[in-house]
Amino acid sequence: MKILVCIKQVPGTTKVEVDEQTGVLKRDGVESKMNPYDLYALEVALRIKEKLGGSVTVLTMGPPQAEAIIKEAYMMGVDDGFLLSDRKFAGADVLATSYTLSQGIKVIGTFDLIICGKQTTDGDTAQVGPAIAEHLNIPHVTWVSNIREVNERNIVVEQDLADSLEVVELDYPCLITVEKDIVQPRLPSYKKKLETRYKPIQVLSLESLQDRNENNYGLNGSPTQVERIFPPEVKAEHILWEGQPEELAEKAFHLLKTEKFI
């Protein structure tokens, strides 16, 4: 059983602010960490490996510092780690990111099962997983909240569709994205930390991929463009209403109606 988990390094906090004067992101003291949703994907992968044998590989794309999260994955018990890092990958949107990752996967090898977290805490799009599956031309299931059965041939999962659970069976190769809380992720182990201290991380640049056409990567390979970023409108804060009950009830009703709660 060969399992691949795609992970991402994200800012340690989502409280990023924009300096209104300059339009620049303030990032004082912002540390990086592994996308918290990826921990669930890693745990699912490790448990399947413990049950069926095989290996768990992680793949990430990012700056050289992103090695830190591969090291963390090693401490959880992952066998191999690859980092896609190249300045030419910079400025990638969903299409270019998923394409780069799929190209990386093709170089690393073939996998039975690819697992991703449900989304990242910085982009919040939840799109990269399905897009990788499309590039690789394999089926995918998102929002997996439970794995009912897993064996060497296929996997039976519960797909959470908000109002219903769709229980589906998929043959390998396939890709799933897992919900938060599907399993409790293990903590990195100190013993593994010592064991994997010198474990290599393989870095993949554009040159190591099959498709080396720069136009398919980074900003050049991204059909979407960010035209501008700006702070959100501040909600009307702390308005105090006094008066007759009838008038107050009308104001409250109007507010609920305008904001579509009614």
Partner 1 sequence: MGVIQINQELCDLCKICMEKCPFKAIELKENKIEINAGCKMCRICIKSCPNQAITYEERLKNEVNKEQWKGILVFVEHVDGEIHPITLELLGKARQLAQKVGHPVYCLFIGNRIEHKAQDLLYYGVDKVFLYDHEALKYYRVDVYANVFEDCIKKIKPCCVLVGGTSIGRSLAPRVATRFKTGLTADCTVLDMKDNTDLIQIRPAFGGNIMAQIVTPNTRPQFATVRYKVMDEAQRCDQACGTIERMSIEDAKLKSKIKVIEVVQKQRELGISEAQVLVVGGRGLKESKDLALLEELATLLGGQVAVTRPLVEAGWAPHTRQIGLSGRTVKPKLIITCGVSGAIQFTACMDASERIIAINKDKKAPIFKIAHYGIVADLYEVIPLLIQKIKEDRKGVEAYAI
Which of positions 82-111 make contact with partner 1 (CB under 8 A)? 85-87, 89-91, 93-95, 98
67 binds partner 1 (CB under 8 A): no
The correct pick among 37, 43, 125, 184 for binding partner 1 (CB under 8 A) is 125
130 binds partner 1 (CB under 8 A): yes
Other C-beta atoms closer than 10 Å to the C-beta of 6 total: 27
- Burial (Cβ within 10 Å: 0-12, 13-18, ≥19) of residue 45: buried
50 binds partner 1 (CB under 8 A): no
Q: For residues 77 and 93, is the Cβ–Cβ distance under 8 A?
A: no
Q: How far apart are CA 8 and CA 227, in angstroms?
A: 24
In angstroms, give the least distance from the CB of 100 to partner 1. 10
Q: How far is CA 147 from CA 141, 162, 168, 169, 176, in A?
A: 12, 17, 10, 10, 10
Choose between 190 and 210: whose C-beta lies nearer to partner 1.
210
The correct pick among 108, 150, 170, 183 for binding partner 1 (CB under 8 A) is 170
Choose between 50 and 149: whose C-beta lies nearer to partner 1.
149
Record the tokens describing residue 55, joined without a space.
Answer: 């290996």
Choose between 197 and 257: whose C-beta lies nearer to partner 1.
257
Q: How far is CA 84 from CA 97, 178, 204, in A?
A: 10, 23, 5
Choose between 54 and 130: whose C-beta lies nearer to partner 1.
130
Choose between 79 and 211: whose C-beta lies nearer to partner 1.
211
Q: Is 204 helix (H, G, I), strand (E, B) or coil?
A: strand
Q: By rule CB under 8 A, what count of residues binds partner 1?
A: 96
Provide φ and ψ at 56, rounded to 5°.
Answer: -120, 125
234 binds partner 1 (CB under 8 A): no
Return the range that interacts with partner 1 (CB under 8 A); candidates 35-43, 109-117, 140-148, 187-195.
140-148
